[in-house]
Each structure stands twice: as structure tokens, then as C-alpha cells.
Structure 1
Amino acid sequence: MLEEIMVTGIGTINPIGGNVQELWEGLLTGKSGVKRVKSFDVSGHQNKNGCEIDTLREPVLFETGRTMGRATRIFMLALEEAVCDAGLSAEELARERTGLSIGTTMGEIEPLEAALMNKGKGVNGGPHAIAENVADTLKLSGPVWTITNACAAGNVAIARAMEELLANRADIMIVGGVDAFSWAAFTGFSSLRAMTPDLCRPFDIHRQGLILGEGAGVLLLERQEHLLRRGHRPRARLMGYGLSCDAHHITQPDPAARSAISSIESALKMAQLDKASIGYVSAHGTGTPANDRMEAKALKAVFGETTPQLPVSSIKGHIGHTLGAASAIEAVVCVKALETGILPPTLNLREQDPECDINVIANEPLCKPVEYILSNAYAFGGINSSIVIGKTKEN
């Protein structure tokens, strides 16, 4: 049996909440982060909406001695909440064998955008800059990873952190995903015609695509032995993960869902659970026709005759697609769902696509205590990821 890996702290900042509780309340009350983009001029784009964070305060727990880009600042705010939630301090993180695993799609993109627009170099940039900034600020001595598996990066970062703990290379892992709203991402998705002109409608027959968002989700993971020594109460258990790549197409998922099925089955196997144990699925649910149908097909293939009773939802109608942050924020939401016995709804779903014939929670939360949750994330290039999170024995 694998050593248990515990979730001991969670934090987030996103378009509908500056912390976990604000996000949770926003999900349950149908709050939407969609509004006209303010970060840059969108007059030349067909799609003019996005999910941006209105204001960013400065972190108070960590003293940074450097100028940081927007993505790093977003991550640090979510990290601050997660560290406090775990009952830790910056000094304790520096003393312990603490590692870091950050998933991102765009990284610290500001310098590239500044160069493209002839606005100068700006802050230290690149995918690696976020992890470097955080590790240097906290004086971390454990392994440091930057994961750039696009929209699956949050889940892949969680998997990487879990492996570091299981291999006893760290006692605590800071893990999460982050992306800032960017002109490069907006223009890229616009060129692919993947964005909707109005609202993101996961699994709806009238959906037209995704809405871009920004934010961060952070979890503090600890080996059970280490957590027992310091006497802090865990919030959830990280049970297992599954990763696969089908390389079907650079942007389109495999319509047969073969590798997505494999990632779900691998996660269940690592968690030592059968399919009947899963009480809820946090779907990737981007609101694009191909992705929603592929995920529905994967769930039906794995869960078979029990699929009609298995609740599924996507939070991207509320906060948009936050790219590398998406599955990390969704993992935070999964912890809240386990603790409260409430499952968040899929916003903007009016008429479900008959090709997505799964049990989607529409518009109103569902009260249903569950023991184990499956959370999926998929990415360009055929990357598939799934994690399983469970209740603690104390709960």
C-alpha cells in the first residue's frame, strides 16, 4: 500500500474570488467572471469577453525583494492562503524539506509580449521564472519543478509532487497551477476559433467554445508521517493519478477517447479503488464540442452502466478556462466538495448535447456527500490527466 499523501492547505485567486471561500460561494450562487477584456485592446477580435481578476493586492506573508510579473504575483497570493491554511509559516517551509511543482501554460509571458509590442524587456520571463521566483523567495531546499503540459499542467504538477513525496525526496510539496490573462493566449485561441463570443456553456448543445480566464490554485501536500509529527489536521487525501498521451492531433482530442480512458483507469488503479467508489467527476468541460464529447465518451467507457448516476460538472462557465491553473483550481474545489457534501454546478447549461449523455449537474449545486472524486484535465498535443482525491479518515 502506498504511503498516504495528505492535502493540508489550499488557496486560490481567480476571476470570481480572492480566496477559497469566495470562490466556493461564487460557484454555488452562479457567479460569473465573464466581462469585456480590459487588459488589452480587443476591438479587432470577434470575441471580446474574458474572465480577468479585477485587482491584485500584494502578499503580506512573503517579502519578495524583486519585481515580479503578474503570473508570479497571482501564484504568491494563492500560496499565501494555502500556507496559512496548512498552519505553516515561511520560516518553517525554509527549514523543512519543502519542494515546489508549478504547472503553467504561458509562464511569465509579459517580457515576450512587451518585446512583440516594442515596450521593452520588463520583468524576468519564461515558463521557469515563476518557480524560480517562488523558490528563491521562500528559500526552498527541496526539488523544484516547472510543468508546461498546457491545460493539463495543474494535474501533471500534482502528479509530479506526489511522486517526490512518495520517493521521500521531500516532506512538504507546494503544488499548483497558474496563468495570467495574456494577449498571446487570447490571440492564439482566437486564431483557432476556439473561443465563444458570449458565454462558456460546457456540455450544452449550443456551446460555441471556451472563455479564457486567469488565476491560480495551490495545494500543500505532505507525507502522512510528517503531518503526524507536526499534529496538523489534513483536509483531504491525494489518492492517485493517471497520465497518458495519444498524440492524435496538435489541438484536437482523440474522438475515440482511448488515452483519456487510460488516464482515468490508471488513476483508479493507483488509488486502489474500483469505479463504483467515485461519487463525483470534476470535468475538464471546456465548452468546445470535440473536448466535451470526448470526455463524455471516456466517462461512459469507464463507468459503464453506472454513468447515469454519476454526477459530473465543469466550473469553466464560472471562471473561464484558466489554462495551466484550471485543474489546480479544480482540485481546490474538489477538497471543498468532499468537506461540505455539496457538488458545484455547470453554469449556463440550458439544453444538454445528446452526444454528451452523462449526468451533468446544471446551474444549481447538488447536495450529495461523496468519499472520492475524480478530476480530469486535457491539453493540446493529446495530453490526458486524471487525479483522485478522497476524504480523510477523520472526516
Structure 2
Amino acid sequence: MRVLVTGISTINSIGTNVNEFWSNLLLGRSGITEYVKYGVKTKYAIIDGFEKYIAPGYKDLGRATSLLLTSIEDAMYSSGLDFDEVEPQRIGISIGTTMGELGNHEDIVFGSPLNENKIERPYTLTNKVASYLDISGPIWTITNACAAGNYAIARAYEEIQSGRADIMIAGGVDAFSLTAYAGFNSLRAITPELCRPFDQNRKGLVLGEGTGILILESEEHFLTRKNGKALASIAGFGLTSDAFHVTKPDPKARGAITAMELALEMAGIAPSDIKYVNSHGTGTPSNDYMEAISLNHVFGEGIKTSSIKANIGHTLGAASAIEAVVCILALNEMKLPPTINLLKKDPVLTADVITDLQEFSSQYIMSNSYAFGGMNSSLILEKA
């Protein structure tokens, strides 16, 4: 039984809906700006005028929760599904996040009156969504850091394949977090300049906020309804763990290589069937080096790749989910987004790093994402 993608949405610093985001991405625009909160100046890919995009009923919720609910409603609308006609226990949710709803904690730390009712854990994101949308199927909160979105999509796929759900809301979310900024800055992973994925002189990442949501649906259920359109299907995925180092990726890229090989095996295709890989491409020296080694090993020369981290920042738990949305758009719109800010490609990487808008036609796309602790994920999407 195939698992189809029938709806998508994203809210991020260059677009508050799919069309706006895709247009700005193809134009090579960046949402990274200076942002001040709690008196601290940061460089962040922030969603400007965040409050005006939030559905009225969600304005009293935390920033991450309100973003997530609004994005889910967009994805549900795009899917053409009438959720009132689906049994609540047959709909589930699987969401990846790094920081969860940490904004309330930070408000308390930086001077707001202590209100224990506002202290939330990552799982409250999905619990609130389930409550607001009357969902009683499988509920998952995945906290595998920067690969959490791909892990959440894989978990959702398995719930449908197992027969426990007909529809799964899958993806990721992370909102502005000064805690995350301070942590990455203490690791010297934040660049003082522009984020330059795969550039020989790259110096680090810039953080961002956003959501990426996919509506996954069993093909059997999809064929029972009259409305809607299948955008893609989940062809395969590979998930591995290196346990090499707390933050540094394995320089030999063994886990990343295995994740790609597992995804290809599950999809039943060869490396030559993949014409484009959407890379994690954070712009940090260690991650980009490891990713270069893995792409060289699996695909050799000629594979096309690009990274959107210089456009919307590193959105942590939402990153791979937004990148899955990008891959689905690329399959359907037959265009590939460029990597911006690249001046001189790192010679270690033999892949063709796209730096301008390109036409594209293929049945498959691979999206890779990696996280602290050596968590590796590869997702293969197939054109419907």
C-alpha cells in the first residue's frame, strides 16, 4: 500500500504560504535579519509580523503552537480532505521539534511573572493540536533535533502502513528561541557573516523559525474520495545513528552513507535514479564536509544538490520537513531552487551545487538531514 502526500504547507521567514515561499525561494531571497528580543540582538530568520498570520483562535497559545496549528490548517485545506467525514481515531499526528514550546519558559526567565501553568514540554505541542482538531489517532512528538522532521514523517508513514491510521499529519516546527541561539553561539556554530552552504570559506549557520507540514494518506483511503490531488508518495527512507560525538558528525560519514543506501533499498531504485539531492547544508565546516563525503561516496560526480539554509536559516526540528515540502514542489513544478551566497565551492564536494534557478524533470528526489548525536535521515519522495 502506497502512502501518498495529499497536502503541504509551510510558514517561514520568506513565505507565510506555499506559493509565496516557493516564489521567493526560486528568486533566491533571504529572510535572515537582525532581531532583538529580551534586549538581545541576534541574527535570525524571523517571521516578520508573525501575529497577523495566526488564526484568531490560536493567538493566546505559544508561538510554536500557534504557528503549528495555523500551518496544519493550511495543509488540511490544500489536501481537499473533509476532516469531519473521517473518524477521529483514524487521523494521527507526528511532529518533530527541537525546542518545543520553549518561549513561555524564556518569558519567565526574562522577567515575566512565574506561571507554572504556562510551563510546557515538547509533547504539549501535539497534545494541543490533537485537542483543538479533535484527533484521537496515533500521536507522536519527535525530538531528534535537526533531523526530527524526517523522523516524524517516517513515523507517520509507519502508522499508516501498519493500519493504525488512514491519515497522518506529519512535519516539524520550531519558533524563535534565545536558548537555541545561545547554545549554538557557545558552540561557535553561528556565523558572524552570511550563511554559505558548501562554500570553501563557510563559517557557520544562522537560525530560523518555521513549520513544514505534510498530509500523509493511505492510497486506499485517497481512492475513496472525490476531491483532492496526490502530490507525491513516500518511496523510501533510511534512519541511522552514529553515536560518534555529541555534536560533531562522523567525518567518514558512515551513518549518512548507510541512511542513503537504506532509503534507496526501500524505494527499490539505484543511485542513478536520483538526479537531485536536497542537502542539509548548514554552512558549518564539519557538517558540510561530512555531507560532501557521503554524497561523493553514494553518487559520485554529477549529482545536483542545493541547500535552503541561507534563505530561511536553520529551522531546527522544522528544517527537514520544510525541505520535504521543497522537494514535493520541485517534483511538481519541475524547478530546482538555487544555493545562495556561494562564492567558491569546497573542492571536497564533487556534486554540482546549484547556484541559479534550473529546470528539472525526474521521478524521484532525495532529501537528507542530520542532527547532533549522529542522527542521520534520508527521505525519498516519488512524483505522483
User: TM-score per shorter chain, which class?
Assistant: over 0.9
Native 8 Å contact 2:138 2:164 kept in 1 = yes
Native 8 Å contact 1:340 1:369 kept in 2 = no
TM superposition shift of 1:88: 2.1
For residues 14 and 352 of structure 2, the distance between their equivalents in structure 1, rounded to whole angstroms, comes to: 25
Deviations 1:64-87 (A, max 9, x none): 5x9311001111121111101101
Match of 1:153 in 2: 148
Aligned partner (choices 181, 196, 199) of residue 194 of structure 2: 199
- Alignment of 1:123 with 2:115, yes or no, is no
For residues 248 and 144 of structure 1, the distance between their equivalents in structure 2, rounded to whole angstroms, comes to: 30
Superposition pairs for residues 134-149 of structure 1, below 5 Å? Answer: 134-149=129-144
Deviations 1:92-131 (A, max 9, x none): 4564610000000000002321332242237351111110
Native 8 Å contact 2:234 2:381 kept in 1 = yes
TM superposition shift of 1:141: 1.8
Aligned partner (choices 294, 317, 325) of residue 310 of structure 2: 317
For residues 253 and 110 of structure 1, the distance between their equivalents in structure 2, rounded to whole angstroms, comes to: 29
Deviations 1:34-77 (A, max 9, x none): 1101334335xxxx3110001233554x955x931100111112
Give the counterpart letter for 2:169 in structure 1.
I
Deviations 1:10-43 (A, max 9, x none): 0010000001111111111111111101334335
Native 8 Å contact 1:102 1:146 kept in 2 = yes
Aligned partner (choices 2, 5, 8) of residue 7 of structure 1: 5
- Alignment of 1:97 with 2:90, yes or no, is yes
Superposition pairs for residues 192-341 of structure 1, below 5 Å? Answer: 192-231=187-226, 232-303=228-299, 307-341=300-334
Give the counterpart letter for 1:115 in structure 2.
I
User: Partner of 2:118: helix, strand, or coil?
Assistant: coil
RMSD: 1.6
Match of 1:79 in 2: 72
Identical pairs, percent: 50
User: Partner of 1:145: helix, strand, or coil?
Assistant: strand
Aligned partner (choices 338, 350, 354) of residue 347 of structure 2: 354
Which blocks of at least 5 consecutive residues in structure 1 are unaligned? none
TM-score w.r.t. the length of structure 1 is 0.93
For residues 130 and 357 of structure 1, the distance between their equivalents in structure 2, rounded to whole angstroms, comes to: 41
User: Partner of 1:37: helix, strand, or coil?
Assistant: strand
For residues 96 and 226 of structure 1, the distance between their equivalents in structure 2, rounded to whole angstroms, comes to: 14
Aligned partner (choices 352, 355, 368) of residue 360 of structure 2: 368
For residues 188 and 108 of structure 1, the distance between their equivalents in structure 2, rounded to whole angstroms, comes to: 17
For residues 42 and 280 of structure 1, the distance between their equivalents in structure 2, rounded to whole angstroms, comes to: 39
TM-score w.r.t. the length of structure 2 is 0.96
Match of 1:35 in 2: 33
Native 8 Å contact 2:202 2:284 kept in 1 = yes
Describe the shift of the 1:312–1:343 C-alpha distance in structure 2 as closer, same or farther (beyond 3 A): same
Give the counterpart letter for 1:281 in structure 2.
V
Which blocks of at least 5 consecutive residues in structure 2 are unaligned? none
How many residues end up aligned between the 2 structures? 380
TM superposition shift of 1:308: 2.2
For residues 87 and 201 of structure 2, the distance between their equivalents in structure 1, rounded to whole angstroms, comes to: 50
For residues 344 and 142 of structure 1, the distance between their equivalents in structure 2, rounded to whole angstroms, comes to: 36
Q: Which moved more, 1:103-112 or 1:84-93?
A: 84-93
User: Partner of 1:349: helix, strand, or coil?
Assistant: coil
User: Partner of 1:309: helix, strand, or coil?
Assistant: coil
For residues 183 and 85 of structure 2, the distance between their equivalents in structure 1, rounded to whole angstroms, comes to: 41
Superposition pairs for residues 17-32 of structure 1, below 5 Å? Answer: 17-32=15-30
Native 8 Å contact 2:241 2:255 kept in 1 = yes
